[in-house]
Chains A and B, each alone.
Chain A
Amino acid sequence: MAETARALPLSGSRVVELGTDLAAPYCARLLARFGADVIKIERPPLGDPLRRAGPFPDGRQDPEHGALFLALNAGKRSATIDVTTPTGRGLLDELLAKADVLVENLPAPEADAIGLTEETLGARHPHLVHVPVTHYGRTGPYREWRGAPLTASAMGGVSVGIGRPGGRPLTMPFSLGAYQAGLAAAAGAVVGLLARRRTGSGQTVDVAEMQVWGTVHTGANILTYLYLGVTGIRQGNRGIGLYPNEFLPCKDGFICLTCTPLHHWIAFLDCMGQPEWAENPRYRNRRAMLEEYPEEVDALLVPWLRGHTRDELFAMAREKRFPLAPGMTVADTLENEHLHARGFFDELAVDGASVRVPGVPSRFSGLEPEAPTAAPSLGADTASVVCELLGRTPETLTQLRRAEIV
């Protein structure tokens, strides 16, 4: 069906980001991809510390070419304003008066000190959707605690569920918690905007990374605890439920085999050339297989799996339609033809090199997602924000620069 209106979901909305590191910038990047005009406010003289974190092309440290910063900040404008000075704070207020959303991740004492609180913002900018995204949230006794993705996933109850039985709990890899929090914050921001259309009033949508984990982890541990009184189970490469539901080695890596309905297990056994096993109660009672003798069944499967590559096994699974997936490495992901056919990757220029970064995992019909424009260099848009948006003269801008406020 032809679409007549091609507006992106957030076209015409303005987002102010006072964000550093990953979670808040990732949230604002998603909002930019949904069409919002995002103005990133950075503190002079150095700006977002992520600019200096790399990775850099050829290892040459250059704060304008940190690839992770460029990926998370593409499509935004950058203005440097020192919001801890009274003048800078005044400029921020003027900007917030013209904005729809504020995304920020300041430590609680700093947010309190400059009045980025529910009370102050609610009184001064009642239309504003304020989205603080922090490790522990802006309320509760741990609001001033220090955090990292590791500590937030630990407090959210994820770590104790990952790892081998009796072994050391594991965190989720990389900064996964920060991306989860950023995603939850983007959802919270659009919910806040929709609520404002109904009620005419903005609000604070307070996102705590630990609570995001606690909530999204609901199924695995919390309900098991509520219904069965069992807490924190680590099961290594195996899942819960019925056999098979686990990672197993094959010729060139690992595959994940997860057959919940019986017909999927039978389809797998057919591929193995052992359909008669499904008639044997010992290899048909899949709850007993998982709970009582999984190693015995693994030992029957692994020799056959080791004779086949991940690609061969995945091709069989696609043909016979049972859920077996190759454990994709980073290199596999970058080369995957399915992802390329769907146009999943954004190509990002990093100091002349082209880097593929994940795009948005959803496509709206009739809207080709625009490739993001480049990330701004530090303070690239300070003049346009201060002079055009806030109506200051070039002379005032020069004075503000001299006073190191912008």
Chain B
Amino acid sequence: MSRTTAARCLQGITVLDFTWAAVGPYATFLLRALGADVIRIESPLRSHLRRVTAGFYADLNAPKTSVLLDVTTPRGVDLALRLAEHADVAVDNYRAGVMERLGLGEQALRARNPRLVVVSATAMGATGPEAAFGGYAPVFSALGGLAQLTGYPDAPPTELRHPVDFALGALVAAVTVAALLRRQATGRGTYVDLSCREGATQLVGESLIDFQLTGRAPERAGNDDAIMAPHGVYPARGDDEWVSVAVSSDEEWCALARAIGRPELADDPSLGDAFLRWQRRAELDDLLTAWTRERPAVEAATRLQEAGVAAAPSLSARGLFEDEHLAARRFASTRRRGGAETTTIGVPWRLSGMQAKVAAGPGPAKARQAVFGGLLGLSPAEIRALRKDGVIG
């Protein structure tokens, strides 16, 4: 029995990509990886960020069909609306109100195509008193209450960027697919208003519940856990090498004590339950550090895992590439094209059968022809005239 792959599960779906920065481009990157045709509308709007983050930008957008279209001109807007007639999905992540001012708001787009799924991922959401405020990931992390909880107890909150951008990009892709499922059932498109700061808050919901029921206001606690101890990142042998250990039960504590050559601690009644260990967590951290310092991170983690303790090396970016487990799961793929090697990070799921594929998109001339000639049926003369007037590139 063959189980068909989802690699092409969005085949035949056309996505109009009005996104910039990271949340939106990552969302449409995932949709592309799942097989959608993504038409990326590059416009003079917000071009500064592209220059600041060129490599990063290229990586997320390379697989898409990119065209230059000046949506700040009436003719550019008209072309974008005509493209909407041929699309299934439109995604943007400008601040609330920007697409409306351009004449490309959800109502204008859906008036052209009632089957269109429009997803707007704004910093604050499209409604509410702060709707018009924009921001990048550090802003939604700060407003979402996530940054305030991340960091050392004695230092300012941590600037969080890509882990938050990419998590929200994945959420945007998920709601887009959910909206497409709904369209299959109802035949109608929909408009999805997604708030990035709410996306950050949902990740720390536990702290809100805890505060309301116990009155304890959680603060930055480094690597300390509210219940588990030892729970932390411990230095291993070598420069900037670390191993993470989390002990969640009495059984794991005893296994840890034996594995680090201190079996007497397993029988010590003053460390006999989670709360007793938690109260003496600083002392236990020192004890464990004395053991981890003597060994490479992978060896320390493997020995603890063999004993039945949750432990892992803290991998760096290079470590991710060298890790045999991730390699076995085809986390990244490297292709050779001409003389150059390109490495692409895949999707966060391992789909049975095969991996979702990301290949380079067409060059500018081919993309222009495919979108304006192929999809909109413009003649070569019309395309030349639009280029001459600077409406398209």
Contact = CB atoms under 8 A, between A and B. Distances in A.
Given A157-B315, A237-B158, A170 B217 contact: no
Contact of B22 (A135, A219, A240, A365): A219
B165 to A, nearest CB: 7
A344 B198 contact: yes
A329 B155 contact: no
Interface stretch (A227-235, A274-282, A389-397): A227-235
Contact of A126 (B1, B11, B128, B177): B1
A118 interface: yes
A288 interface: no
Interface stretch (A38-46, A80-88, A180-188, A374-382): A180-188
B315 A205 contact: no
Given A155-B312, A344-B201, A184 B182 contact: no
Given A146-B309, A361-B198, A139 B350 contact: yes
A267 to B, nearest CB: 12
B243 to A, nearest CB: 8
B94 to A, nearest CB: 13
Contacts of A171: 223, 233, 244
A56 B310 contact: no
Contacts of A123: 1
B325 A136 contact: yes
Interface string B22-38: 10000000000010000
Interface in A147-163: 147-160, 162-163
Contacts of B305: 142, 145-146
A236 B151 CA distance: 8
B392 interface: no
* Chain B contact residues, majority secondary structure: mixed
Pairs A-B, 6 closest by C-beta atoms: A187-B174, A5-B186, A216-B166, A195-B9, A225-B317, A148-B246
A151 B328 contact: no
Interface size class, chain A: 35 or more
A174 B309 CA distance: 20
B156 interface: yes
Interface in B140-179: 140-152, 155-163, 165-167, 169-171, 173-175, 177-179
Interface string B299-315: 00000010011111111
A184 B348 contact: yes
Given A151-B244, A154-B314, A339-B128, A237 B156 contact: yes
A328 B343 contact: no
A317 B149 CA distance: 23
Contacts of A8: 182
B315 A190 contact: no
